[in-house]
Amino acid sequence: MTSPEGSGPRVVSRSARAEEYVFGALVVGLGVFTLVDATSIAARGSMGAVGPRAFPYAVGVLLVVTGVAAVVATARGRLGSAEDAEDVDPAVRTDWVTVAKLVAVLVAHLVLIDVAGWPVAAVALFFGAAWSLGAVWWKALGVAVVLALVVQVLFASGLGLSLPAGVLEGVPLLDG
Amino acid sequence: MGSLGALLEGFATAAQPEYLLYALLGVTLGTAVGVLPGIGPAMTVALLLPLTYSLEPTAALIIFAGIYYGGMYGGSTTSILLNTPGESSSVVTALEGNRMARAGRGAAALATAAIGSFVAGTIATVLLTALAPSIAELAVTLGPADYVALMVVAFTTVAALLGASPARGLASLALGLFLGLVGTDTLTGQQRFTLGVPTLSDGIDVVVVAVGVFAVGEALYVAARLRHGPVEVVPVGGRWMTGEFWRRSWKPWLRGTAIGFPIGTIPAGGADVSTFLSYAVEKKLAKRPEEFGRGAIEGVAGPEAANNAAAAGVLVPLLTLGLPTTATAAVIVAGFQSYGIQPGPLLFTDDSALVWALIASLYIGNVMLLVLNLPLVRIWVKVLQIPRPYLYAGILLFAALGTYAVNFVVDDLVVLLVIGVAGLFMRRRGYPVAPLVVGLILGPMAEEQVRRTLQIGQGDPVALVTSPFAAVAYGLLAVALVVTVVLRVRRDA
């Protein structure tokens, strides 16, 4: 009952370490990109004053230094600790398949907005995400359709911001 | 006093039926979304921000204020009734409040949290009313070098002093500063880091980043390790308010307020630090310290009060200096900016009617929240039980909607997705996300002030430290750094 979850020495898995190195390296990489790209910013009439390059240089240096520091800390075995959240089960392994599904669903959403309109894209996003996370498919689909239509109507009528109706263009209430 | 008259005028504005309705809408939305697990105050404000775009500024700011305070109240209900801790600012509440709820005293825990939040929120708002105008007057006299100093202090405390890993905190800050660089340079009109993409030439919208890092990042993070099965909510039991309840609660409320407000006003990480301090103080002063860890009401009353007092305290530097010291405050600044209003010393002179209506609505919102929270707690319990697949699908849908509604361009959704994936890995690897958001909003301001300082000082960097105010600020920062390093070394030794 009162036993803290995940007690005992934290096992530093190899994949956690690899992830840590990759993320640190990406921070360093972004820093290098910042430094290199900053040189292409034209500094016209550079008098004593600070031009448009100085701040990017500083940010680039900070990225490189902190990224290197994170990599060094990892090498010494001091890994960052994952954040806790109410719905996270610390005992299970990372389910990358679900993450990939969610990313795919978001990509589908942003493609569909221009192709088929917001309502269709919204149904795809909600249904896809809820289903990937384990909801019963027909319930998820029902909720998705209702939610998308309600939001579409609210935006078109209430907020005065109209979302592209796409395939539903010209339908009263839905097309603002 | 002039500010009292201005406040009364603010009340006259905020008490108009239309604005009361907006305030009610704000606190209700704020509480409802704040109750949802996994959604902290920053995410609540970021998700709901786009909804206010079609409103006039006063109405929008009144809604923000309601969402801000409502989100704070909602979070405590979650941590008391849900079996799993979350959201850092209310973790200590979870500790004691959750134990109380399990011991069948959930009602008393909820009541002390709600009434304590009301007492602290109201006192802190009074302090805000009293202090803000004079601080704003003082702030008008500050030069660009002084602002640079304040921002350096904010950057350092938010990124390096508070987190577990200073390197990761600073890396997160640097990522935010980088995102702030993208766009058109204000002084020379040149594009920087836009990769030739036209959408990026206007810069990356703070709302998009905040929604990406909080909503999408969090949803992906939770999805990777979702707790399956039914949601366990502790039933609300016991008596609401007894004589003992009041006797044991009122002092912690006041002490929590006294701790929370000052900590909120300085850039010291806002709510988190104050709740931990308040908890420690209550434990030390308790007549029955053995109850702590097993459901001591003082351990809920104090930290909850401190949490809300700090939330009001954060508004002091936000409104008077334009300096956000927490992620939530940074999102609020973005909200102000979307109306072309820059929070800062001139706010009290240029937009006086607006800012006083906002402050008046904080008082009104607090009363509404007290009424809303206690009798309606059964509704919030229902909200807590939303099945998780639907909850996170909903978060993703509204995150995408909010982002799309900023400019109605699909490109923003690409940025949202990239930031969201970055947010996922930051959470997994212990990079705090708050410094990123603070860096993004303060970075461009800091750059401008540095350039202005050096222009005045004709390129001499010494100009950055010669003003007395700046010198004092750097001095205090140096002291804080040394103290922190010493404490860390001692703890590790």
Whole-complex ipTM: 0.89
Q: Which of A66, A87, A118 is facing B171, going by the closest CB pair?
A: A66
The reply to whether residue A52 touches residue B190, judged by beta carbons under 8 angstroms, is yes
Task: Tell me if A79 and B430 make a contact (CB, 8 A cut-off).
Answer: yes
Size of interface A-B (CB pairs under 8 A): 245
Written as six digits, the tokens of B428 are 């997994």
d(CA B88, CA B99): 17
Q: Of A129, A6, A145, A1, which is closest to residue B387 (Cα–Cα)? A: A129
- Distance between CA atoms of residues B366 and B126, nearest Å: 12
- Please judge whether A66 and B165 are an interchain contact, meaning their C-beta atoms are less than 8 angstroms apart: no
Confidence (pLDDT) at B172: 93
The answer for residues whose C-beta is within 8 angstroms of residue B306's C-beta and 6 or more apart is B120, B256, B257, B259, B260, B263, B271, B274, B275, B277, B278
- Residues 6 or more apart whose CB falls under 8 angstroms from that of B61 comprise B335, B336, B339, B354, B357, B358, B361
CB contact under 8 A, A106 and B87: no
Whether A59 and B392 lie within 8 Å, measured CB to CB = no
Of B87, B228, B455, the CB nearest to A134: B228
C-alpha–C-alpha distance, residues B168 and B182, integer Å: 22
To the nearest 10°, the Cα dihedral for B134, B139, B142, B146? Answer: 120
Residue range A59-104, pLDDT digits in tens:
999 999 999 999 998 888 877 777 777 778 777 788 899 999 999 9
* B-contacting residues in A 131-170 (Cβ below 8 Å): 131-135, 140, 143-144, 147, 151, 155, 159-161, 163-164
B100-103 contacts: CB < 8 A, separation 24 or more?
Answer: B100/B295, B100/B297, B100/B300, B101/B234, B101/B236, B101/B237, B102/B234, B102/B295, B103/B294, B103/B295
| Residue A88 in contact with partner chain B when CB distance is under 8 A | yes
Q: What is the pLDDT along chain B (493 residues), one digit of tens a residue?
A: 467 888 888 888 888 899 999 999 999 988 888 888 777 778 888 887 777 777 888 898 898 889 888 888 887 888 888 765 544 445 676 778 888 888 888 888 889 999 999 999 999 999 999 998 888 888 888 888 999 998 998 888 888 776 678 889 999 999 999 999 998 887 777 888 888 788 888 888 888 998 899 889 989 998 988 877 777 778 887 777 788 888 888 899 999 999 999 988 887 666 677 888 888 888 888 888 888 878 888 888 998 899 899 989 999 999 998 888 888 888 888 888 888 888 888 888 888 888 999 999 999 999 999 988 888 888 888 888 888 899 999 999 999 998 898 888 899 999 999 999 999 999 888 888 888 988 998 899 899 888 888 888 877 888 888 888 899 999 988 998 888 888 878 777 6
What is the enclosing helix (H) or strand (E) of B192? Answer: strand B191-192
CB atoms within 10 A of CB A169: 10
Residue in B167, B396, B460 nearest the CB of A69: B167
**Which of A55, A79, A85 is the closest to B222 by Cβ?**
A85
Coil, strand or helix at A82: coil
- The reply to whether residue A125 touches residue B397, judged by beta carbons under 8 angstroms, is yes
**Out of A52, A80, A118, closest to residue B431 by CB:** A80
CA-based nearest distance A169→chain B, Å: 17
Closest by alpha carbon to B6, among B312, B265, B342, B359? Answer: B359
Q: Does B48 lie at the interface with A, CB-CB under 8 angstroms?
A: no
- The Cα of B347 is separated from the nearest Cα of chain A by a number of Å equal to 28
